[in-house]
Amino acid sequence: MKFISTRGKSKVDYAATAIAKGLADDGGLFVPENFPKITFDDLTKMIDMDYAERACFVLHNYLEEYDYQELLDACKNSYAKFEDGDGAPLVKIDDKTFIIELFHGPTLAFKDVALTLLPYLLRKGCDLSGIKEEVLILVATSGDTGKAALEGFKDAKGIKVMVFFPSEGVSDMQKMQMTTQEGQNVNVVAVKGNFDDCQTAVKKIFTSKEIASDLLKKNIVLSSANSMNFGRLAPQITYYFSAYADLLASNEIKLGDKVNFVVPTGNFGNILAGYYAKQMGLPIDKLVCASNSNNVLTEFFVSGTYDANREFFKTVSPSMDILISSNLERLVFELSNRDFELTERRMAELKSQGKYSLTAQEKSKLDSEFFADYADEEECLQTIGEVFDEYGYVLDTHTAVAYDTAMKFIDYTNNDNTVVILSTASPYKFAHDVLRAINGRAPEDAFKCANMLYEQTATPIPNQILELKTKERRFTKVINKNDTVNAVMEFVD
Ligand SMILES: *Cc1c(COP(=O)(O)O)cnc(C)c1O
């Protein structure tokens, strides 16, 4: 399948090349030339498949040049790293409300669903596209992508990974997870600033011809593990289908019934994968975009104007503390009926003025597919407490934002389709705030919080958390946001 850039000046013949390159040469994002269709017959077939088989079945529609059996083996390998080999187990809350738990992978966040598979997709993508250089993957992270990428790519041959995270913008557990990372090919640097600063710095490096040519002299090409890379996005499409197949399997819905998905959103990658699933034919009614106090997306969905000129808040759901959601470009591109010039102009406006607006027509299209709302800090913590009291279920802070938004969605719209909430992280990654929500207060020490959370909820502490206590801290560097290029050059020298 061919992939085109949202800005119209770059096109590649295969998904493999789009994945190997990460970002299009014109600064745009790669999108599939068309959306392959999955039929009701296919959905029925998926009922009896395990998660890895479902993943391969969905992915191969885009990754046609990848050998099916080899891709299947890679999927099996990836999802064997998840508890019970399931990338997205479905949990029933009540007759109409379900949660898919996407956090049972190696680093306890939904990013693992894609980042356990991306190393294969990328290495194979380079082979299939004749890229022979060493690949340097640059990652800007709001906390979870960084760790998942480090773990996914550690000691991968011919690949180096460098992660930038906001020095004060991640949870203690997230920071420990990244700074204790093992592997000879990895580097982790804290940046003084927020996630947007990290992402902007990385994007700048990606689009600099000068840096590209300096790196090429060292036989290095850049790629990305952020959801700007189609290889990150594609595996995320699977769990929308998988949740639907599981609902069918347990007779919770009938084939063709519409389902709503509620997604705690930051960079708009996760929910965009849901939009792609819908374009492929999955019976989705509304996609619900849930934000925290950094509710630039809520305002966009309500007003049709994206305006990043606003105060940035550090919240208890740090992985969603983002004001410039990169993947929105892909949605806006679709809303405009794939108008390259308009998309490019809007992205230029976003860069120069921090804002752009949709047309009335685009806005009404948006309204028919999405609902958006947000949960502030208090609502988030209150939801964690209430859901635990009522169902004995422990939500992490990000999933709690989605849960609260799901309840608002049902209240405001009276939409009575089945609701599936995407749970994006283990509560133990955010033990301090989750404990505070359930207990009223919490000690400073993250491990103490984890132990107390276990005592209160009997939800087992994942090993990945327990291990952190004794791991050596390898990365301690903190830099200014203007020094990212130097840091990259130092790393590759
Ligand atoms: C990354 C992340 C999100 C946001 O997902 P996007 O794809 O960036 O919208 C939400 N919750 C958690 C726990 C995350 O790690």
Closest atom of ligand 1 relative to the 270 alpha carbon: 7
DSSP string covering 357-378:
E--HHHHHHHHHHEEEEE--HH
8 Å CB contact between 22 and 224: yes
Q: How far is the CA of 357 from the centre of ligand 1 (A)?
A: 24
Could you report how far apart the first and last alpha carbons of the chain are, in Å?
37
In whole angstroms, give the CA distance from residue 465 to residue 164: 21
Tokens of residue 238, six digits: 């699977």
Q: How far is the CA of 106 from the centre of ligand 1 (A)?
A: 16
pLDDT number for residue 203: 86
- Active-site residues, by number, are 111
In whole angstroms, give the CA distance from residue 134 to residue 132: 7
Supply the residue whose CA is at minimum distance from atom 14 of ligand 1: 319
What residues contact residue 257 under an 8 Å CB cut-off, 6+ apart? 283, 417, 418
Place of tokens 């919490």: 442
Paired strand residues for 287: 261, 370
Supply the residue whose CA is at minimum distance from atom 2 of ligand 1: 319
pLDDT number for residue 146: 95
Q: How far is the CA of 145 from the centre of ligand 1 (A)?
A: 8
Closest atom of ligand 1 relative to the 273 alpha carbon: 7
How many Cα atoms are found within 13 Å in the side-chain-facing hemisphere of 97?
Answer: 16
Supply the residue whose CA is at minimum distance from atom 1 of ligand 1: 319
Q: How far is the CA of 453 from the centre of ligand 1 (A)?
A: 23
Closest atom of ligand 1 relative to the 264 alpha carbon: 10
Where are any strands of DSSP class E within 73-200? 90-94, 97-101, 134-140, 159-166, 186-192
Rg (CA), the chain: 21
Closest atom of ligand 1 relative to the 425 alpha carbon: 13
> Which of 141, 423, 424, 426 for mutating ligand 1's site (highest number of atoms within 8 Å of CB)?
424
> Which of 108, 110, 237, 327 for mutating ligand 1's site (highest number of atoms within 8 Å of CB)?
110
| H runs (alpha helix) in 336-445 | 340-353, 360-369, 377-391, 397-413, 431-439
Ligand 1 proximal residues by C-beta, below 6 Å: 109, 111, 144, 227, 264-270, 319-320, 398, 424-425
In whole angstroms, give the CA distance from residue 313 to residue 20: 34
Q: How far is the CA of 270 from the centre of ligand 1 (A)?
A: 7
- pLDDT tens-digit series, residues 239-253: 999 999 999 999 999
Tokens of residue 411, six digits: 């209240």
Q: How far is the CA of 55 from the centre of ligand 1 (A)?
A: 20
> Which of 99, 163, 224, 265 for mutating ligand 1's site (highest number of atoms within 8 Å of CB)?
265
Residue 172, number of CB atoms within 10 A of its CB: 17
Give the H/E segment covering residue 307: strand 305-307
Q: With a cut of 50, which residues of the chain have pLDDT below it?
A: none
How many Cα atoms are found within 13 Å in the side-chain-facing hemisphere of 101?
Answer: 20
In whole angstroms, give the CA distance from residue 291 to residue 96: 22
Closest CA to 475 of 148, 163, 166, 109: 163
In whole angstroms, give the CA distance from residue 167 to residue 169: 6
pLDDT number for residue 239: 98
> Which of 139, 144, 321, 384 for mutating ligand 1's site (highest number of atoms within 8 Å of CB)?
144
Closest atom of ligand 1 relative to the 267 alpha carbon: 8
- pLDDT tens-digit series, residues 55-106: 999 999 999 999 999 999 999 999 999 999 999 999 999 999 999 999 999 9
In whole angstroms, give the CA distance from residue 416 to residue 479: 50
Phi and psi angles of residue 460, each rounded to the nearest 5 degrees, phi first: -60, 140
In whole angstroms, give the CA distance from residue 243 to residue 240: 5
The DSSP 8-state label assigned to residue 264 in this structure reads: E
Closest atom of ligand 1 relative to the 265 alpha carbon: 9
Place of tokens 């068309």: 34
In whole angstroms, give the CA distance from residue 484 to residue 491: 11
Torsion sign (Cα): 227, 228, 229, 234: positive
- pLDDT tens-digit series, residues 444-475: 999 999 999 999 999 999 999 999 999 999 99
Q: How far is the CA of 109 from the centre of ligand 1 (A)?
A: 8
In whole angstroms, give the CA distance from residue 142 to residue 329: 19
Residue 444, number of CB atoms within 10 A of its CB: 8
Question: Residue type for 8, please?
Answer: G
Phi and psi angles of residue 459, each rounded to the nearest 5 degrees, phi first: -80, 120
